[in-house]
Amino acid sequence: MATATVTYSRSRSTYASLRLAVLQFLADPQWLVPSMIAPVIFALVSFELFRGSGPYYLTYAILGAGMMSMWGQTLYGSGWATGQDRVFGTLEPTIQAPTPYLYVVIGRVLWNVVSGLIGGLIVYVVIVVSAGSPPALPDPLGFALLFVFTMLTLASVGVVFAAFYVYTRYAGFIQNIGEFAFYIGTGCMFPVILLPFVVTPFALVLPPTWALDALRYLSIPGYQGFGWGVYWDLLGALGTTAVYLAIAGVVFRRVERHVLEEGNLSDY
């Protein structure tokens, strides 16, 4: 008997997963809160607090709230990237499919990145309208490129969270109780060097901390962040992101094997 050859495309799976994530976002708008509503409120609060503190504090408010928008999507959305399969009972069928599960999750995480970006854009518009003028940016193109790079570092954290959440019942706890801790740890609204030194090693474990510091060096003249400067920041961001992606790959392979051998990850 001839054996049927299964052909599959990883990119098509990622695209389908991304498309479904968009549709689910539109059908269940609760994700508007972490990605768009909360950051706008944080932006307005920080704008009020920074008011009159100089032209570059506008950049602090926009960058900070924009980052929080993306963090919100990473923390909540990426956790749901695998959590939804357990709730809907689709974890085993999805993993039985020929496409590696990681490519399905990447599609969902990509949408989180895009919706976080949209949130960042909304934050930008709200702050510019409130301030009456755009922020002073010495290098707008570099800023835009580095901003996208910062998002990618966050996406790498999202993929690790998505993998890690399969093995824990505390995803909700990490998301809801740890939210502000992540904002502080990555220095969303202020440089990490303002925090007690003991926090720094924990902050440096997170790729966005490095990327955000580099972004501030580029966009805020006279900025005092980590003493090693922008290029080491970028290198650190690249290195930690690579480590995160490697960890995510290993964990997802383990998840797949676990599901195929035990079939009990849906019990949560």
Partner 1 sequence: MAIANVRGPATYHSSFWRTLWTNAVMAPRTSLGFMRLDFVLGTVFVVPLTQMAFFVFVVKLSGGGASEIAFTAIGNAIATVTYPSVFSVCQTTDSEKQQGTMEHLLVSPTNRLALYLGRGLIPILISLATAAMGLVYAATLFGVVIPLGAIPALAVSVTLTAFAMVAFGLLLGGVALYLRTSIILGNIFLFVGLLLAGVNVPLSDLPTPLQWAGYALPLTWGLAGVRAAIAGESLVSLEWIWGAVALAAIISFGLAMSLWEYFERRAITTGSIARF
In the complex, the residues that contact partner 1 under the rule CB under 8 A are 29-30, 32-34, 37-38, 41-42, 44-46, 48-50, 53, 57, 60, 64, 170, 172-173, 176-181, 183-184, 189-191, 194-195
**Closer residue to partner 1, CB minimum distance, 183 or 210:** 183
C-beta of 45: minimal distance to partner 1 in Å?
5
C-beta of 134: minimal distance to partner 1 in Å?
20
Q: How far apart are CA 204 and CA 71, in angstroms?
A: 16
C-alpha 86: how far from chain center: 21
By the 8 A CB rule, do 73 and 120 touch?
A: no
C-beta of 10: minimal distance to partner 1 in Å?
34
Q: How far apart are CA 242 and CA 248, in angstroms?
A: 10
C-beta of 130: minimal distance to partner 1 in Å?
10
**Closer residue to partner 1, CB minimum distance, 44 or 204:** 44
C-alpha 89: how far from chain center: 25
C-beta of 96: minimal distance to partner 1 in Å?
28
Sign of the CA dihedral running 243, 246, 252, 255: negative
Residue 8's SS3 state is coil
By the 8 A CB rule, do 80 and 112 touch?
A: no
**Closer residue to partner 1, CB minimum distance, 64 or 208:** 64
**Closer residue to partner 1, CB minimum distance, 160 or 189:** 189
b/e per residue, 183-195, with b = 16+ CB within 10 A?
A: bbbbbbbebbeee
Give the pair of three-digit tokens for residue 191.
Answer: 């440089």
**Closer residue to partner 1, CB minimum distance, 36 or 91:** 36
Give the pair of three-digit tokens for residue 101.
Answer: 């599960």
